[in-house]
Structure 1
């Protein structure tokens, strides 16, 4: 029985305390980094100045807990109950608080930069002077919250986000994530935009380095000259999107749908385009060196002056690709394992495809 126990300054890092009853316990200044406290009961506990960096607290009950100046960097607090908790001055940067209940919690001066607060209940919470820069507030409830002097620069929100009366997010330099949104030159580095609907949005010159856009709807969007280095776009719909001059080096575009997309002069070096659909895409002057194009569909794509050196073409479909020459193809790896129409196979010195 650990409820009401005195564990102040205890070293419990990486401990398995899932489902433990620690209600009312004194854990002030304790080391709980990497600990598993998922579904634990910590209601009314004192965790002031405790280190919970990287801890698992999903579904934990921290209602009314003393958490001021505690460290929750990169902790998982999804679905946690924190109603009425005192988190003044706490470090919650990059923490996952999605679907957590923080109603009436004290978060004054707390660091919530880059935190995931999607679908989080922050109604009547005190967020005065809190740092919410680059936080994800998609579908969050901030009704009646105190946001005086809070830093919300580059935080993202959706039409379903509820703000206090008369609050104007655009004046706080926040970014609306929605179809047709104007996100030109927006700073969205590392943002979680997976499954977001950004169809026809203007993201030209935006900073999206390391962002997650997997399964996002980006049909017809403009991403020209955007920085998408290391971003995840797997299974995203980028059909007829403009990515002219975009930087996509080391990005993941596996199984992405890029039919008719414009990728002219884009940097796709070392990108993962395995099983991507690039039929009719404009890849003229694109850098595809060292890219993984295995099983990708490049039929009818324009590859004029595209750099395919050391790209993996195993299983790729290059049938009827435009402005493609044998030298380009043979600078790639596994070029002989790709699919071409018979006329081009002859130029490559390959035998005709066997008749079906």
Structure 2
């Protein structure tokens, strides 16, 4: 019964959208007719010559010879003829415009209707794909009693393989449908399957996943480009080599998450929790990590070119041999962080806390940069840089 209701609702929505396109076309034709009518009435009332309604004459003079019946003499008769005729005026041009405009408008409206019908058909197809997926997954859960199968039961492994295949397939078929892709993941959360099988290689571009609970989920190599994950719980999730380019992760919890080799270029990570997260070899160019918590995180060899980490927590963070060129660390807490061998060209350390921060063998760091930070005298430097700062050999003590 519920399927029939869904189909009826789908047909009803389709017919309503088609009617809307038709009414839009009618309105357009009415507007054109009103404009033409107003111009015609105005011109006829005020009879401007240029409008084609005023007097416009074409005079001609002809001379004819005739015989006077009284004396037989030949006389000349002058005959004047005046023809009233308008040239090509505004009214004529309006008529021509109307003749050409109607078929053009019909073609435009026809194309709009076809485009809308295709859009409706695609939407209905995606909705059918989603409903079919949910129905089949529900059958799998109920008929195979998936939730109650023992962990070592071969039937359980088979059922989970089927569930994974169906999930990855429907996500690909949904294409760039942000809402329905989000619905697939929310369904898996509701039936408690997100931690049961791998969603590696899942296609989730632009998916709406705000506030979802995906802790311990496995999304290795998944495609999350431009996805909405703000406020999501991704604690201990596996996102290694995942593509999160441009994703919105504002306020998300990624504590302990595996982001090794992940692409976070241009991602919004403001206020994100990344305590003890693994970000080695990750790409975070132009990333926004203002006020983020990366305490104890591993960013070994991570690329943070042009990233902003103002007021971020980086206590004890591993940033060895990281690319930190033009990074904004203003107001950040780098106490005890390890930046050994990192590239610090044009880094902003204004008001950053760098007590016990390791700057040994860093590249492109200047005394002027360091002296903008707090407790710069108590950071750890190599002997050459200590001499440049005119500090004793062991300032950390």
What's the TM-score once normalised by structure 2's chain length? Answer: 0.48
Give 1:239's match in structure 2, choosing from 280, 285, 289.
280
Deviation at 1:309, TM superposition (A): 0.4
Alignment partner, residue 23 of structure 1? none
Alignment partner, residue 241 of structure 2? 200
1:185-205 deviations in Å (ceiling 9; x for gaps): 000000000100000000010
Q: 1:298 to 1:169 in 2, by over 3 A?
A: closer
Q: 1:172 to 1:259 in 2, by over 3 A?
A: closer
What pairs up with 1:1-356 in 2 under 5 angstroms?
153=182, 155=185, 158=194, 160=196, 173=207, 177-353=218-394
- Counting matched residue pairs gives 209
Q: 1:208 to 1:305 in 2, by over 3 A?
A: same
SS in structure 2 at match of 1:287? coil
Give the Cα–Cα distance (whole angstroms) in 1 for the partners of residues 392 and 206 of structure 2.
63
Give the Cα–Cα distance (whole angstroms) in 2 for the partners of residues 319 and 273 of structure 1.
17
Q: 1:284 to 1:169 in 2, by over 3 A?
A: closer
Deviation at 1:255, TM superposition (A): 0.1
Any conservation in 2 of the 1:186–1:206 contact (CA below 8 Å)?
yes
Give the Cα–Cα distance (whole angstroms) in 2 for the partners of residues 350 and 174 of structure 1.
53
Any conservation in 2 of the 1:263–1:281 contact (CA below 8 Å)?
yes
Q: 1:238 to 1:173 in 2, by over 3 A?
A: closer
Quick check: which has more Rg, 1 or 2? Answer: 2
Any conservation in 2 of the 1:153–1:172 contact (CA below 8 Å)?
no
Deviation at 1:160, TM superposition (A): 2.4
What's the TM-score once normalised by structure 1's chain length? Answer: 0.54
Q: 1:329 to 1:170 in 2, by over 3 A?
A: closer
Deviation at 1:352, TM superposition (A): 1.4
Any conservation in 2 of the 1:297–1:318 contact (CA below 8 Å)?
yes
Give the Cα–Cα distance (whole angstroms) in 2 for the partners of residues 169 and 228 of structure 1.
21
SS in structure 2 at match of 1:153? helix
Moved over 2 A (4+): 150-162, 168-177
Give the Cα–Cα distance (whole angstroms) in 1 for the partners of residues 208 and 314 of structure 2.
32
More helix by share: 2
Give the Cα–Cα distance (whole angstroms) in 2 for the partners of residues 193 and 289 of structure 1.
27
Question: CA RMSD, aligned part only?
Answer: 3.3
Give the Cα–Cα distance (whole angstroms) in 2 for the partners of residues 186 and 344 of structure 1.
44
Give the Cα–Cα distance (whole angstroms) in 2 for the partners of residues 172 and 205 of structure 1.
9
More strand by share: 2
1:40-62 deviations in Å (ceiling 9; x for gaps): xxxxxxxxxxxxxxxxxxxxxxx
Give the Cα–Cα distance (whole angstroms) in 1 for the partners of residues 205 and 355 of structure 2.
50
Q: 1:310 to 1:294 in 2, by over 3 A?
A: same
Give the Cα–Cα distance (whole angstroms) in 1 for the partners of residues 369 and 336 of structure 2.
18
